[in-house]
Amino acid sequence: MRMIDDSGLDIFDAILIYDSSRFARNLKESLIYKAGLKKNGVSLISITEPNLDDDSALLVDALLGASNELYSRKLSKNVLRGMVYSAERGNIPTSPPYGYRKANGAVVIDEEESVFIRKVFELFMAKPSPFITAHAVNEQGYRTRRGLPWTGSGISRIIGNPTYTGVVRFHGELYKGSHDPIIDSETWQKAQALIAPKASRRRSRPESYAKHWMSGAARCYHCDRSMVSASYILRGKRRNSFRCCGYQAGVCKHINYITWKTLEDAVTNMLKAILDAPGADDVQIETVKPAADRSGDLAQKLKSVKARLSRHKEAYAAGVDTLAEYKANREKCESEIKAIESQIMEMRDDELTDERFERLQLRISDMVPSRLFRCERRG
């Protein structure tokens, strides 16, 4: 994509390609980009195909572009058919999950990793919470293959993976596998029964693990989703806030956030006003001091997305991804980067002002904060 952009800078005269399929495997994009190169005075020269004059090139480009796109579609279908055939024969067509490894073309149990899988099921059966299970195995020193701590979502994928019972799951279908089971079917079924009622709130954390005493109480004014706790670095100083989880997921259009201190002050002042009213019990309220060190700041998330974008570029350069795939991945990453940078720029002051917030609505029931607070940021 940088090469296409640079074609208008008059710094090179031609682009050499091995054949047209290495330039694009989508007819529409092939014609668009070739037209752009021609407009910028850059020639596209194929090493293995004839380079014709302008009158003949139009028809040949269309034929080759259509042929390359057809080849790409057929290749995708053939690969999928081969993977389904492999699953039907009891083989795992993708990389084996944690707990298994490939040896001499067969999937076998990794003894060290299988101990961890059994431990996960044992802990989950005792306390059916993916987050608590992840916290427990991390404290025992277990790590992923990449050396990272386990997360609740990673534990959920292990618990819900029927591969550990000796079957193969591919494209929503189950096939009898040729590999040995790590977990017996009865234990796996019991685990599914425990996790099923929590499916709609699988990512929620127990109150004892909440980052802040208002976790789960603040909700976005626009979409009514939870405001999740997050840390970020601004001007070299770590700051903490709540932000709309819907915006992070791309389902809420409002960059809604409120700092810990702002929400603490607003809630404390409101409760004190209620308690100072005639007839209220003499109850003392103190603001809880937030923890000093929090992980998962926006700067680290931004770095991760930029690294993922770099990997997509490398995959396209190596011919692993098509131009259309790379374009879609690039647009997705750039959208995430823009959203994260926008959040960093938006998070400024700790004061609740008319310029930053239009309203902070607080509903108190029995003077106990429990998912009662709704926040809105102007704009």
Q: How would residue 196 be classed by pLDDT, with cut points 50, 70 and 90?
A: low
Within this chain, domains 2-88 and 100-207 share the same CATH topology? no
pLDDT confidence of residue 357:
40
Residue 207 reports pLDDT greater than 70:
no
pLDDT confidence of residue 122:
93
Residues in Cβ contact with 134 at an 8 Å cutoff, skipping those fewer than 6 apart:
149, 150, 151, 152, 154, 155
Query: What are the structure tokens assigned to 342, written together?
Result: 């926008």
Residue 253 reports pLDDT greater than 50:
yes
pLDDT confidence of residue 315:
75
Residue 344 reports pLDDT greater than 70:
no
Residue 262 reports pLDDT greater than 60:
yes
Which tens digits make up the pLDDT trace of 41-67? 898 888 887 765 555 666 666 677 677
How many Å separate Cα 57 from the centre of its chain?
A: 43
Domain boundaries, the chain: 2-88, 100-207, 210-376
Average pLDDT for 309-329 = 79
Average pLDDT for 235-257 = 72
> Could you identify the residue written with the tokens 């700092």?
259
Average pLDDT for 209-229 = 73
Cα dihedral 243/244/247/253 (nearest 10): -110
Q: How would residue 375 be classed by pLDDT, with cut points 50, 70 and 90?
A: low
Which tens digits make up the pLDDT trace of 21-34? 778 767 777 778 88
CA angle 113, 116, 120 (to 5 degrees): 145
**CB-neighbour burial class of residue 299 (10 A; exposed 0-12, middle 13-18, buried 19+):** middle
Residue 365 reports pLDDT greater than 60:
no
pLDDT confidence of residue 281:
56
Report the CATH fold assignment for 100-207: Hect, E3 ligase catalytic domain fold (3.90.1750)
Which tens digits make up the pLDDT trace of 103-140? 888 899 999 999 999 999 999 999 888 878 988 998 89
Percent of the residues in the chain that have a pLDDT greater than 90, as a whole number: 16
User: What distances in angstroms separate CA 137 from CA 152, 294, 321, 362, one per listed residue?
Assistant: 11, 20, 36, 39
Q: What is the DSSP letter of 373?
A: E
> Could you identify the residue written with the tokens 């591969």?
163
Average pLDDT for 242-266 = 75
Would you say 234 and 160 are in contact if contact means Cβ atoms under 8 Å apart?
A: no
Residue 370 reports pLDDT greater than 60:
no
Residue 355 reports pLDDT greater than 50:
no
Residue 234 reports pLDDT greater than 50:
yes
Q: How far apart are CA 222 and CA 207, in angstroms?
A: 25
Average pLDDT for 330-352 = 69
Average pLDDT for 86-92 = 88
- Which of residues 144 and 351 earns the better pLDDT score? 144
Q: How would residue 183 be classed by pLDDT, with cut points 50, 70 and 90?
A: very high
Report the CATH fold assignment for 2-88: Rossmann fold (3.40.50)
Window from 120-134, 140-154, 187-201 with minimum mean pLDDT? 187-201
Task: Report phi then psi at 157, rounded to 5.
Answer: -65, -35
Question: Which residue type occupies 355?
Answer: E
Residue 182 reports pLDDT greater than 90:
yes
Average pLDDT for 135-162 = 89
CA angle 263, 274, 370 (to 5 degrees): 50
Q: How far apart are CA 227 and CA 258, in angstroms?
A: 9
Residue 318 reports pLDDT greater than 50:
yes
